[in-house]
Chains A and B, each alone.
Chain A
Protein backbone atom coordinates (compact mmCIF):
# COMPACT_ATOMS: atom_id res chain seq x y z
CA UNK A 1 0.00 0.00 0.00
CA UNK A 2 1.12 3.57 -0.64
CA UNK A 3 1.76 5.43 2.60
CA UNK A 4 0.84 9.11 2.76
CA UNK A 5 2.63 11.26 5.31
CA UNK A 6 1.44 14.76 6.11
CA UNK A 7 3.33 17.38 8.03
CA UNK A 8 2.93 19.13 10.24
CA UNK A 9 0.30 17.13 12.11
CA UNK A 10 -0.99 20.39 13.54
CA UNK A 11 -0.27 24.07 13.23
CA UNK A 12 -1.41 27.32 14.79
CA UNK A 13 -1.92 30.41 12.68
CA UNK A 14 -3.51 33.83 12.72
CA UNK A 15 -6.34 34.90 10.48
CA UNK A 16 -4.72 36.37 7.38
CA UNK A 17 -1.60 34.21 7.54
CA UNK A 18 -0.34 32.09 4.69
CA UNK A 19 -0.48 28.40 5.58
CA UNK A 20 1.23 25.48 3.90
CA UNK A 21 0.60 21.77 4.48
CA UNK A 22 2.83 19.13 2.95
CA UNK A 23 2.03 15.57 1.91
CA UNK A 24 4.58 12.96 0.88
CA UNK A 25 3.82 9.65 -0.81
CA UNK A 26 5.91 6.53 -0.22
CA UNK A 27 6.19 6.05 -3.99
CA UNK A 28 5.44 8.09 -7.04
CA UNK A 29 1.74 8.78 -7.57
CA UNK A 30 2.07 11.17 -10.55
CA UNK A 31 -0.61 13.79 -9.83
CA UNK A 32 -3.21 11.46 -8.31
CA UNK A 33 -3.41 13.55 -5.17
CA UNK A 34 -6.46 15.15 -3.61
CA UNK A 35 -7.00 17.45 -0.65
CA UNK A 36 -10.03 17.45 1.64
CA UNK A 37 -11.16 19.72 4.45
CA UNK A 38 -13.11 18.34 7.39
CA UNK A 39 -14.82 20.27 10.15
CA UNK A 40 -16.02 18.69 13.41
CA UNK A 41 -19.03 16.46 12.95
CA UNK A 42 -19.11 17.03 9.19
CA UNK A 43 -18.23 14.99 6.13
CA UNK A 44 -14.98 15.75 4.30
CA UNK A 45 -15.18 18.34 1.54
CA UNK A 46 -13.12 18.12 -1.62
CA UNK A 47 -10.87 21.16 -2.10
CA UNK A 48 -8.26 20.17 -4.68
CA UNK A 49 -8.09 17.22 -7.07
CA UNK A 50 -5.35 16.02 -9.40
CA UNK A 51 -2.83 17.85 -7.23
CA UNK A 52 -3.66 21.35 -8.43
CA UNK A 53 -7.21 21.57 -9.79
CA UNK A 54 -9.55 23.64 -7.66
CA UNK A 55 -12.93 22.00 -7.05
CA UNK A 56 -15.90 24.07 -8.18
CA UNK A 57 -17.08 26.46 -5.48
CA UNK A 58 -13.88 26.34 -3.44
CA UNK A 59 -12.35 29.77 -2.75
CA UNK A 60 -9.30 30.69 -4.79
CA UNK A 61 -7.21 31.22 -1.65
CA UNK A 62 -6.78 27.42 -1.68
CA UNK A 63 -4.20 26.04 -4.07
CA UNK A 64 -2.32 22.80 -4.56
CA UNK A 65 0.96 21.92 -6.19
CA UNK A 66 3.36 19.04 -6.64
CA UNK A 67 3.86 15.87 -8.62
CA UNK A 68 5.52 12.53 -8.09
CA UNK A 69 5.90 12.12 -4.34
CA UNK A 70 5.77 15.61 -2.82
CA UNK A 71 2.71 17.81 -2.68
CA UNK A 72 1.60 21.02 -1.02
CA UNK A 73 -1.68 22.60 -0.03
CA UNK A 74 -1.50 26.36 0.44
CA UNK A 75 -4.04 28.70 1.93
CA UNK A 76 -2.91 32.14 0.83
CA UNK A 77 -4.72 34.07 3.57
CA UNK A 78 -6.36 32.13 6.37
CA UNK A 79 -10.04 32.91 6.99
CA UNK A 80 -11.90 32.07 10.23
CA UNK A 81 -13.88 29.34 8.46
CA UNK A 82 -10.65 27.60 7.37
CA UNK A 83 -9.86 26.24 10.82
CA UNK A 84 -10.33 22.53 10.25
CA UNK A 85 -8.48 19.29 9.58
CA UNK A 86 -6.97 18.80 6.14
CA UNK A 87 -6.32 15.41 4.59
CA UNK A 88 -4.41 14.41 1.49
CA UNK A 89 -5.41 11.28 -0.43
CA UNK A 90 -3.74 9.29 -3.17
CA UNK A 91 -5.85 7.62 -5.84
CA UNK A 92 -2.95 6.33 -7.95
CA UNK A 93 -3.85 2.81 -6.96
CA UNK A 94 -6.03 0.74 -4.67
CA UNK A 95 -6.31 0.91 -1.75
CA UNK A 96 -6.83 4.63 -1.80
CA UNK A 97 -4.97 5.95 1.19
CA UNK A 98 -5.20 9.15 3.19
CA UNK A 99 -2.65 11.09 5.14
CA UNK A 100 -3.13 11.23 8.89
CA UNK A 101 -4.46 14.79 8.73
CA UNK A 102 -3.23 18.27 9.61
CA UNK A 103 -5.21 20.24 12.17
CA UNK A 104 -5.18 23.98 11.58
CA UNK A 105 -5.97 25.86 14.78
CA UNK A 106 -6.24 29.47 15.96
CA UNK A 107 -3.06 31.04 17.24
Chain B
Protein backbone atom coordinates (compact mmCIF):
# COMPACT_ATOMS: atom_id res chain seq x y z
CA UNK B 1 0.00 0.00 0.00
CA UNK B 2 1.34 3.41 -0.93
CA UNK B 3 1.96 5.83 1.89
CA UNK B 4 -0.22 8.49 0.36
CA UNK B 5 -3.20 7.65 -1.78
CA UNK B 6 -5.45 9.92 -3.75
CA UNK B 7 -8.17 9.32 -6.26
CA UNK B 8 -6.53 10.47 -9.52
CA UNK B 9 -9.85 11.61 -10.95
CA UNK B 10 -10.37 13.45 -13.14
CA UNK B 11 -13.14 15.29 -11.41
CA UNK B 12 -15.21 17.19 -13.94
CA UNK B 13 -17.47 19.75 -12.30
CA UNK B 14 -19.44 22.77 -13.52
CA UNK B 15 -18.59 26.27 -12.43
CA UNK B 16 -20.02 27.09 -9.05
CA UNK B 17 -20.06 23.49 -7.84
CA UNK B 18 -18.57 22.29 -4.60
CA UNK B 19 -16.00 19.55 -4.89
CA UNK B 20 -14.14 17.54 -2.28
CA UNK B 21 -10.92 15.59 -2.48
CA UNK B 22 -9.78 13.01 0.02
CA UNK B 23 -6.36 11.66 0.70
CA UNK B 24 -5.44 8.72 2.91
CA UNK B 25 -2.09 7.98 4.40
CA UNK B 26 -0.71 4.85 5.93
CA UNK B 27 2.13 6.11 8.10
CA UNK B 28 0.82 7.27 11.43
CA UNK B 29 4.15 9.00 12.05
CA UNK B 30 3.24 11.57 9.42
CA UNK B 31 3.54 14.91 11.07
CA UNK B 32 2.82 17.72 8.64
CA UNK B 33 0.26 17.83 5.88
CA UNK B 34 -0.22 20.06 2.89
CA UNK B 35 -2.26 20.49 -0.24
CA UNK B 36 -0.35 21.61 -3.29
CA UNK B 37 -1.85 22.80 -6.51
CA UNK B 38 -0.02 22.00 -9.69
CA UNK B 39 -0.59 22.99 -13.30
CA UNK B 40 1.11 21.14 -16.13
CA UNK B 41 4.45 22.77 -16.99
CA UNK B 42 4.36 24.71 -13.77
CA UNK B 43 5.92 23.92 -10.44
CA UNK B 44 3.58 22.70 -7.72
CA UNK B 45 2.55 25.52 -5.45
CA UNK B 46 1.55 25.27 -1.85
CA UNK B 47 -2.19 25.72 -1.60
CA UNK B 48 -2.49 25.35 2.12
CA UNK B 49 -1.21 23.55 5.13
CA UNK B 50 -3.60 21.24 6.91
CA UNK B 51 -4.11 21.42 10.64
CA UNK B 52 -5.91 19.07 12.97
CA UNK B 53 -8.38 21.77 13.88
CA UNK B 54 -9.21 22.34 10.23
CA UNK B 55 -8.43 25.51 8.40
CA UNK B 56 -10.04 27.67 5.76
CA UNK B 57 -8.66 30.01 3.15
CA UNK B 58 -11.35 31.72 1.15
CA UNK B 59 -13.20 29.10 -0.85
CA UNK B 60 -10.87 26.33 0.30
CA UNK B 61 -11.24 24.28 3.45
CA UNK B 62 -8.80 21.63 4.57
CA UNK B 63 -9.31 19.09 7.30
CA UNK B 64 -7.21 16.42 8.91
CA UNK B 65 -8.50 13.33 10.66
CA UNK B 66 -5.57 11.67 12.38
CA UNK B 67 -7.64 8.84 13.82
CA UNK B 68 -8.82 7.79 10.37
CA UNK B 69 -5.62 8.96 8.70
CA UNK B 70 -7.20 11.04 6.01
CA UNK B 71 -7.02 14.58 4.79
CA UNK B 72 -9.63 16.41 2.82
CA UNK B 73 -9.82 19.50 0.66
CA UNK B 74 -13.14 21.18 -0.06
CA UNK B 75 -13.48 23.75 -2.80
CA UNK B 76 -16.64 25.83 -2.83
CA UNK B 77 -17.99 27.87 -5.73
CA UNK B 78 -15.54 26.35 -8.22
CA UNK B 79 -13.94 28.65 -10.77
CA UNK B 80 -12.54 27.79 -14.17
CA UNK B 81 -9.15 28.79 -12.82
CA UNK B 82 -9.37 26.05 -10.19
CA UNK B 83 -8.69 23.47 -12.92
CA UNK B 84 -5.42 21.86 -11.94
CA UNK B 85 -3.93 18.89 -10.18
CA UNK B 86 -4.15 18.92 -6.39
CA UNK B 87 -1.41 17.14 -4.55
CA UNK B 88 -1.75 15.74 -1.07
CA UNK B 89 1.62 16.03 0.60
CA UNK B 90 2.86 14.57 3.88
CA UNK B 91 5.98 15.10 5.85
CA UNK B 92 7.01 12.39 8.26
CA UNK B 93 8.50 13.08 11.60
CA UNK B 94 12.28 12.70 11.67
CA UNK B 95 12.44 12.40 7.92
CA UNK B 96 14.65 15.37 7.33
CA UNK B 97 13.21 17.48 4.60
CA UNK B 98 11.54 14.79 2.55
CA UNK B 99 7.92 15.11 1.57
CA UNK B 100 5.66 12.30 0.53
CA UNK B 101 3.44 13.30 -2.33
CA UNK B 102 0.25 11.73 -3.43
CA UNK B 103 0.04 11.34 -7.17
CA UNK B 104 -2.49 14.08 -7.43
CA UNK B 105 -6.16 14.53 -8.16
CA UNK B 106 -7.03 16.18 -11.42
CA UNK B 107 -9.84 18.74 -11.41
CA UNK B 108 -11.47 20.19 -14.48
CA UNK B 109 -14.01 22.95 -13.96
CA UNK B 110 -16.21 23.50 -16.98
CA UNK B 111 -18.35 26.48 -18.00
Chains A and B belong together in one complex: no
Binding site for A on B (CB under 8 A): none
Which residues of A approach B to under 8 Å, CB–CB?
A: none
